[in-house]
Amino acid sequence: MNQMLLNALLLALRAIRRNLMRSFLTVLGIVIGVGAVITMVTLGNGATRMVSDQISSLGSNLLILRPGQQLGPGRESAGAANFRLTDVEALQAQIPSLRAVAPVVSSRVTLVVGSQNWSSQVSGTSNAYFTAGNWKIGAGRSFEEDEETAGKAVCVIGDTVRKQLFGSGSPLGGELRVKNFTCVVVGLLAAKGQGAMGQDQDDVVLMPIRTVQRRLTGNQDVSTVMLSMRDGANADQVMVQIRRLMRERRKLAESEEDNFNVMDTKQIAETLSGTIRTMTGLLGAVAAVSLLVGGIGIMNIMLVSVTERTREIGIRLAIGALEHEVLLQFLIEAVVLSALGGLIGITLAFVACLGLTALMNMPFLFNPGINLLAFVFSAVIGIVFGYMPARRAASLDPIVALRYE
Amino acid sequence: MTQNDVGTLLISLRKVTKTYGEGTATVQALNGVDLDIGQGEFVAIMGPSGSGKSTALNILGCLDAPSSGHYLFRDIEVDALTRNQRALLRRHYLGFVFQGFNLLSRTSAQENVELPLLYRGEDAAHRHEASRRALAQVGLTGWEHHTPAELSGGQQQRVAIARAIVTQPLVLLADEPTGNLDSKRGHEIMELLVSLNRDQGITVIMVTHELDMAAYASRVVRFADGNVGSDSMKVAA
Ligand SMILES: Nc1ncnc2c1ncn2[C@@H]1O[C@H](COP(=O)(O)OP(=O)(O)OP(=O)(O)O)[C@@H](O)[C@H]1O
Ligand SMILES: [Mg+2]
């Protein structure tokens, strides 16, 4: 029995060596399929994790209030009135569960320092923004009270802006030209890195909101309000309180819909992660198709060689091989090839994922499940397509198999 | 081995027919063949092309089953055997040289010759030695590592013969074993078959078209239209 297994192994290895090109193509088909599936799914998982990590770095207790109805297909926020600073004060005063309420109004501008210029987003806000947005001051300071109330030309800049405009020198005390005015850099934000959507979170300039309103937007509007809840606060309750207060302040009648919306960033995170998971699934499906195509390629190779293999089987049967001995040889051959392909595929996928996740600043989450699944699937494909034609041939009379054309 | 004890019945065909195809396109390749062959005989089968020689030899070699009739091999009813039992019969008792060689492509001469030993479960050392000896017997020393594509037709034929005799079978069935050889090589092969027959008691059944090859045999069976036309035994060797 053992002897038979050894013989079958020997014959299988000889057959692989004898048909190097066919063996190579078979392995290649599996390598591509397995590699693609594992790479896609691993990258998808990494992306999901990255998004949720980064959104939670925003601060998990963050709500965002915007004018207009809840965004959705065909429901744009256009037309709804912006907020005022008094709304922000009312929210802060009347809802005790809110720790920090930061008004935000943004404008895209070109910044100039000496001969350097850089286009960036300037956001007018208050010191509450640092709390709400989970920002740390890396150097210098935040705004002082009189700077906020008087709308002085001071700013706190993000790390990217510093790099672009000040290079290696210290930005503190430096002067930044913004359109028609000059503002003094008083603080530098600690770097956060890439955002959930791949955007650079450090490419920001923060100013007191009154400064932006007076010098850049020219009105009293507040376009977004960021609200940070106290620890342990119930997001749903707080959102209800915010809605009630805002409906009252915006004098909405019973029958009217909200002309503003409150979003929970946790919810956004979940939605986003869900979206990415869906995309991962999709990519996985595409990759699965490539695995299938690899399988069909193998089938093709096997079918093309079926004439030769049938004659080979006829020869073996004619000189005294038993049907199951021949089948065992073919089974081993198929297993060896598909396992080899599977292992190479897994190794290549591992290397590719390591490189790509490093390149995209994503966490590399090794997923044993998908590795196993892809491997098993490839093995099944290899075995089915490698073994099935042999099964038919081995059941023929030797003379019929020998005459097969 | 002892002297030939010609006479013990080894093979007997009874009313064996073989029909190929279906409906109007049927070909009656064998037409009720009766044939007895004793142990140690050297039989040459002759006859015109299409007379059923190869068909009969395939049936004798348990490669093909008759459409009707009986085949007894050493008193074993071959038709009643299972596929595996017939395979074992081929493995242990029969050596077959095909008209079309049927060597494994891209496989060295030596590996081709070793194959029957491998299925017999012989160890590597013995396989190696026996296959080299068989190749030497057919004059192919030095060609062990050539694949069929690198060998001439005659050389391939000799590899096929080496593969059939490497197991020292009870019966050697050869379908035109000298068909691709020049007459000098052909005579060498015939002397080899004669010596296998004489010294090792191997029963040889050989299909041939050439009279001077058939002359080596102790008995000539002539086929005509799927039947045995004449059967002549040589009186003395
Ligand atoms: N697989 C097959 N299918 C259909 N007909 C066949 C098959 N094999 C042989 N025949 C027919 O059976 C008859 C006998 O064939 P066989 O091969 O036995 O002849 P042969 O005596 O060996 O001839 P040759 O000397 O040419 O080799 C022929 O008419 C042939 O056409
Ligand atoms: Mg013939």
The domain limits of chain A are 2-54+270-402, 98-229
| pLDDT tier, A143 (very low <50, low <70, confident <90, very high otherwise) | very high
Q: Does B23 contact chain A (CB < 8 Å)?
A: no
What's the pLDDT at A71? 55
Neighboring chain B residues of A318 at a CB cutoff of 8 Å: 61, 63, 90, 96, 98, 102
- In degrees, rounded to 5, the angle at the alpha carbon of residue A343 between the alpha carbons of residues A340 and A346 is 145
Q: Please give the Cα distance from B1 to B168 (Å, whole number).
A: 12
| Residue of minimum CA distance from atom 12 in ligand 1 | B29
What's the pLDDT at A69? 75
| pLDDT tier, B17 (very low <50, low <70, confident <90, very high otherwise) | very high
Note the Cα A115 to chain centre separation in Å: 37
> Pairing mode, if any, of strands B171-175 and B94-97?
parallel
- Provide the token pair at A87: 């709304």
Q: Which of A143-152, A197-206, A221-230, A317-326 has the lowest mean pLDDT?
A: A197-206
Q: How far is the CA of A383 from the centre of ligand 2 (A)?
A: 38
Q: Per residue in B129-172, pLDDT tens?
A: 999 999 999 999 999 999 999 999 889 999 999 999 999 999 99
Q: Could you tell me if A190 and A183 are in contact, meaning their C-beta atoms sit under 8 angstroms apart?
A: no
Q: Please give the Cα distance from A204 to A42 (Å, whole number).
A: 32
- CB-ligand 1 contact for B8 (6 Å cutoff): no
- Residue identified by tokens 């209800």 is A240
Contacts of A66 (CB under 8 A, 6+ apart): A77, A223, A224, A225, A260, A261, A263
Alpha helices in B9-104 (DSSP H): 53-60, 83-93
Over range A115-123, report the average pLDDT: 90
Q: Testing the interface with A: which of B63, B110, B113 to mutate, by most A Cβ within 10 A?
A: B63
Q: Please give the Cα distance from A182 to A197 (Å, whole number).
A: 31
Neighboring chain A residues of B106 at a CB cutoff of 8 Å: 18-19
| pLDDT tier, B4 (very low <50, low <70, confident <90, very high otherwise) | very low
Neighboring chain B residues of A18 at a CB cutoff of 8 Å: 104-107
Q: Please give the Cα distance from A369 to A177 (Å, whole number).
A: 55
3-class secondary structure, A387: helix
Closest Cα in chain B to A394: B83
Q: Testing the interface with A: which of B55, B82, B93, B102 to mutate, by most A Cβ within 10 A?
A: B102
Q: Please give the Cα distance from A128 to A228 (Å, whole number).
A: 9
Q: Does A9 contact chain B (CB < 8 Å)?
A: no
pLDDT at B3 over 90: no
- CB-ligand 1 contact for B180 (6 Å cutoff): no
Among A318, A285, A336, which Cα is nearest to A399's? A318
Atom number in ligand 1 closest to CA B51: 21
Q: Does A4 contact chain B (CB < 8 Å)?
A: yes
Helices A306-318, A265-304: inter-axial angle, 10-degree rounding: 60
Q: Could you tell me if A376 and A405 are in contact, meaning their C-beta atoms sit under 8 angstroms apart?
A: no
- Residue identified by tokens 């850099």 is A185
pLDDT at A75 over 60: no
| pLDDT tier, A187 (very low <50, low <70, confident <90, very high otherwise) | very high
Q: Testing the interface with B: which of A4, A315, A319, A402 to mutate, by most B Cβ within 10 A?
A: A319
Cβ contacts below 8 Å, chain A against chain B, sum to: 69
E-strand ranges in A39-115 read: 62-67, 98-113
Q: Per residue in B32-87, pLDDT tens?
A: 999 999 999 999 999 999 999 999 999 999 999 999 999 999 989 999 999 999 99
Closest Cα in chain A to B166: A319
Contacts of A155 (CB under 8 A, 6+ apart): A122, A176, A178, A183, A184, A185, A186, A205, A206, A207
Q: How far is the CA of B114 from the centre of ligand 1 (A)?
A: 30
Q: Does A3 contact chain B (CB < 8 Å)?
A: yes
- Provide the token pair at B39: 């142990």
Q: Please give the Cα distance from A293 to B229 (Å, whole number).
A: 59
Q: Please give the Cα distance from B113 to B129 (Å, whole number).
A: 11
| pLDDT tier, B11 (very low <50, low <70, confident <90, very high otherwise) | very high
| Residue of minimum CA distance from atom 5 in ligand 1 | B20
Q: Does B216 contact chain A (CB < 8 Å)?
A: no
Over range A233-237, report the average pLDDT: 87
3-class secondary structure, A235: helix
Which residues in B48-60 are b (16+ Cβ under 10 Å) and which e? Answer: eeebbbbbbbbbb
Contact (CB<8Å) B63/A11: no
Task: Work out whether the CA dihedral A206, A208, A212, A213 comes out positive or negative.
Answer: positive
> Pairing mode, if any, of strands B227-233 and B76-77?
unpaired
What's the pLDDT at A12? 87
What's the pLDDT at A225? 93
Chain B, residues 70-129, CB within 8 A of chain A, namely 83-84, 87-88, 90-92, 94, 96, 98, 102-107, 111, 115-116, 118-121
- CB-ligand 1 contact for B153 (6 Å cutoff): no
Q: Does A396 contact chain B (CB < 8 Å)?
A: no
Q: Per residue in A124-133, pLDDT tens?
A: 999 999 988 8
Q: Could you tell me if A224 and A66 are in contact, meaning their C-beta atoms sit under 8 angstroms apart?
A: yes
Q: Which of A62-76, A104-118, A348-362 has the lowest mean pLDDT?
A: A62-76
- Provide the token pair at A298: 């193998």
Alpha helices in B61-123 (DSSP H): 83-93, 109-120
Contact (CB<8Å) A399/B63: yes
How many CB atoms lie under 10 A from the CB of residue A219?
A: 11
Domains parsed from chain B with CATH numbers: 3-20+27-233 (3.40.50.300)
pLDDT at A6 over 90: no
Helices A2-18, A323-359: inter-axial angle, 10-degree rounding: 60
- ipTM score over 0.90, yes or no: yes
- CB-ligand 1 contact for B48 (6 Å cutoff): no
Q: Name the residue of B19, B22, B53 to mutate for ligand 1: max ligand atoms within 8 A of Cβ.
A: B53
Share the mean pLDDT of chain A: 86
3-class secondary structure, A183: strand
What's the pLDDT at A198? 64
Q: How far is the CA of A152 from the centre of ligand 2 (A)?
A: 108
Say which amino acid occupies B206.
Answer: M
Which pTM does this prediction carry?
0.72
Highest mean pLDDT among A86-90, A108-112, B171-175: B171-175
Give the whole-number percent of chain A exceeding pLDDT 70.
94
| Residue of minimum CA distance from atom 20 in ligand 1 | B50
Q: Per residue in A157-183, pLDDT tens?
A: 999 999 999 988 889 999 999 988 999
| pLDDT tier, B2 (very low <50, low <70, confident <90, very high otherwise) | very low
Over range A283-288, report the average pLDDT: 83
Task: Work out whether the CA dihedral A319, A320, A321, A322 comes out positive or negative.
Answer: positive
- Provide the token pair at B162: 């080496």
- Provide the token pair at B99: 């008209």
3-class secondary structure, A104: strand
What's the pLDDT at B236? 47
Q: Could you tell me if B234 and B221 are in contact, meaning their C-beta atoms sit under 8 angstroms apart?
A: no
Torsion of Cα atoms, A123 then A126 then A129 then A131, to 10° = 160
- CB-ligand 1 contact for B21 (6 Å cutoff): yes
| Residue of minimum CA distance from atom 27 in ligand 1 | B49
Q: Could you tell me if B13 and B70 are in contact, meaning their C-beta atoms sit under 8 angstroms apart?
A: yes
| Residue of minimum CA distance from atom 30 in ligand 1 | B50
Atom number in ligand 1 closest to CA A399: 1
Q: Give the one of A10, A308, A320 whose C-beta lies nearest to B91's C-beta.
A: A320
pLDDT at A203 over 50: yes
| pLDDT tier, B1 (very low <50, low <70, confident <90, very high otherwise) | very low
What's the pLDDT at A57? 65
Q: Could you tell me if B167 and B89 are in contact, meaning their C-beta atoms sit under 8 angstroms apart?
A: no
Question: Would you mind telling me the total number of residues written for chain B in this entry?
Answer: 237
Highest mean pLDDT among A66-80, A294-308, B117-131: B117-131
Q: Which of A135-139, A386-390, B207-211, B229-233 has the lowest mean pLDDT?
A: A386-390
Q: How far is the CA of B217 from the centre of ligand 2 (A)?
A: 18
